[in-house]
C-alpha cells in the first residue's frame, strides 16, 4: 500500500468516532473498491495501534442470508477487534459514548491453534478452537442513518464499536453449538430468539470463511485470536437505560447496560 494514501479518510472516520457524529457515506466523496476498503480499514487500525491499542481478533458481519441479500453480496465482511473494544460482562456503558448503537447476540470463538488456507473445514475450526463464549456485539456505524454501501462498511471496520464476552465453554459440547438456543432480552422483554445455526448454518463456517478471506491476502488466523462469528438475529437499536441480556443454552448469560 502507498504510505499515507488513506490518511485523509482515516482522519474522517476517527473524527466521526471521537466526536460521536455520524458522517455521510465516504463513497459519496471518495472512490474506493472493496479491496481498497480493506486497505482503509487496515490503515485505520494501524493508526489506532500507533496510539497504543492492540488487535485481539476479528468480527464477521453480514453473516445472515437476509443481510447478504440486502447488500447484494455472497460473502460476509470482516472487521478487526481491538483490546479497547472489550467490555466486562455486566458493565455499564455511557449511551452518549456512541452515535446510534445496536446490539447483536453472537458466539465468540477463541482459537487455540493457527488456522490458514482457503479450504479450512468446520471440523478443523472446532478442533482449533480452545473455547467458545456467549457474546454481545455493540455495533455503531459511523455513517448517517446506519446506511452505507458494502465498501463503506468495510472501510468503517464493519461498524465495530464494543463487545462483551461471557463465560467460557470448554469440552465436548462445542460441536453442538449451532443448536444452542439464544434469547435476547432488553429490560426483561424478549426481543429476539434464535440459534447460532442462523449464522451461515454453523458459526464454525463463519470462522472457516474468515480463514479463507484472510488466506486470499496471504494472512491467517493465529492461536489466541478471538472471532465474533456474526449476529444470530438482526441488530437491535438500544436506548439510554436499556439492560441488554443474551441468554444462551450451555453458554450462559452475557449482559451490558446503557446509561
Q: Which residues bind ligand 0L1 (CB under 6 A)?
A: 59, 61-62, 104, 137, 139, 141, 153, 158-159, 230-231, 235
Task: Tell me which of 122, 137, 152, 225 binds Mg ion, using CB under 5 A.
Answer: 137
Nearest to 107 by CA among 70, 72, 136, 127: 136
Q: Which residue has the cell 460521536?
A: 20
For residue 242, the tally of other CB atoms under 10 A from its CB is 18
Using the minimum distance from each CB to ligand 0L1, give the nearer residue, 166 or 230: 230
Contact flag: residue 140 with Mg ion (CB under 5 A): no
Residue 168 phi, psi dihedral angles, 5° rounding: -85, 145
At closest approach, how far in Å is the CB of 154 from ligand 0L1?
A: 9
Instruction: Identify residues 218-257 at the interface with Mg ion (CB under 5 A).
Output: 231
# chain residues binding Mg ion, by CB under 5 A = 3
The SS3 call for residue 70 is helix
Using the minimum distance from each CB to ligand 0L1, give the nearer residue, 117 or 201: 201
Using the minimum distance from each CB to ligand 0L1, give the nearer residue, 69 or 123: 69
Do you know the residue count of the chain? 259
At closest approach, how far in Å is the CB of 59 from Mg ion?
A: 6
Cell numbers representing residue 212 in the block: 479463507
Q: Are 76 and 61 in contact (CB under 8 A)?
A: yes
At closest approach, how far in Å is the CB of 147 from ligand 0L1?
A: 10
At closest approach, how far in Å is the CB of 47 from Mg ion?
A: 22
Strand partners, 184: 192, 246
Q: How far apart are CA 42 and CA 73, in angstroms?
A: 21
Using the minimum distance from each CB to Mg ion, give the nearer residue, 6 or 154: 154
At closest approach, how far in Å is the CB of 192 from ligand 0L1?
A: 14
Q: How far apart are CA 229 and CA 205, in angstroms?
A: 9
Which one of ligand 0L1, Mg ion, none is in contact with 93 (Cβ closer than 5 to 8 A by kind)?
none
The region, left, alpha or beta by phi > 0 then psi within -120 to 50, assigned to residue 137 is beta
Using the minimum distance from each CB to Mg ion, give the nearer residue, 166 or 231: 231
Using the minimum distance from each CB to Mg ion, give the nearer residue, 6 or 161: 161
Q: How far apart are CA 61 and CA 22, in angstroms?
A: 20
At closest approach, how far in Å is the CB of 62 from Mg ion?
A: 9
Nearest to 72 by CA among 34, 107, 39: 34
Instruction: Identify residues 95-124 at the interface with Mg ion (CB under 5 A).
Output: 104
Residue with nearest beta carbon to ligand 0L1? 61
Q: Which residues bind Mg ion (CB under 5 A)?
A: 104, 137, 231
Amino acid at each position: 500500500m502507498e504510505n499515507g494514501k488513506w490518511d485523509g479518510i482515516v482522519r474522517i472516520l476517527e473524527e466521526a468516532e471521537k466526536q460521536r457524529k455520524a458522517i455521510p457515506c465516504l463513497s459519496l466523496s471518495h472512490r474506493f473498491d472493496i479491496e481498497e476498503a480493506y486497505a482503509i480499514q487496515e490503515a485505520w487500525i494501524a493508526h489506532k495501534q500507533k496510539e497504543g491499542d492492540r488487535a485481539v481478533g476479528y468480527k464477521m458481519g453480514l453473516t445472515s442470508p437476509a443481510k447478504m441479500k440486502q447488500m447484494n453480496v455472497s460473502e460476509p465482511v470482516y472487521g478487526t477487534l481491538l483490546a479497547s473494544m472489550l467490555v466486562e460482562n455486566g458493565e455499564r456503558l455511557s449511551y452518549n459514548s456512541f452515535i446510534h448503537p445496536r446490539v447483536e447476540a453472537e458466539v465468540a470463538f477463541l482459537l487455540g491453534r493457527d488456522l490458514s488456507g482457503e479450504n479450512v473445514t468446520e471440523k478443523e475450526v472446532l478442533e482449533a478452537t480452545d473455547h467458545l463464549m456467549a457474546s454481545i456485539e455493540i455495533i455503531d456505524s459511523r455513517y448517517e442513518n446506519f446506511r452505507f454501501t458494502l465498501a463503506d462498511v468495510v472501510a468503517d471496520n464493519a461498524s465495530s464499536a464494543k463487545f462483551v464476552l461471557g463465560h467460557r465453554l470448554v469440552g465436548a459440547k462445542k460441536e453442538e453449538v449451532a443448536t444452542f438456543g439464544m434469547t435476547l432480552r432488553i429490560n426483561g422483554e424478549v426481543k429476539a430468539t434464535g440459534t447460532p445455526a442462523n449464522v451461515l448454518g454453523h458459526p464454525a463456517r463463519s470462522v472457516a470463511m474468515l480463514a479463507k478471506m484472510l488466506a486470499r491476502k496471504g494472512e491467517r488466523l493465529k492461536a489466541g485470536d478471538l472471532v465474533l462469528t456474526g449476529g444470530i438475529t438482526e441488530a437491535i437499536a438500544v436506548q439510554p437505560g436499556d439492560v441488554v441480556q443474551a441468554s444462551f443454552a450451555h453458554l450462559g448469560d452475557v449482559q451490558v447496560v446503557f446509561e
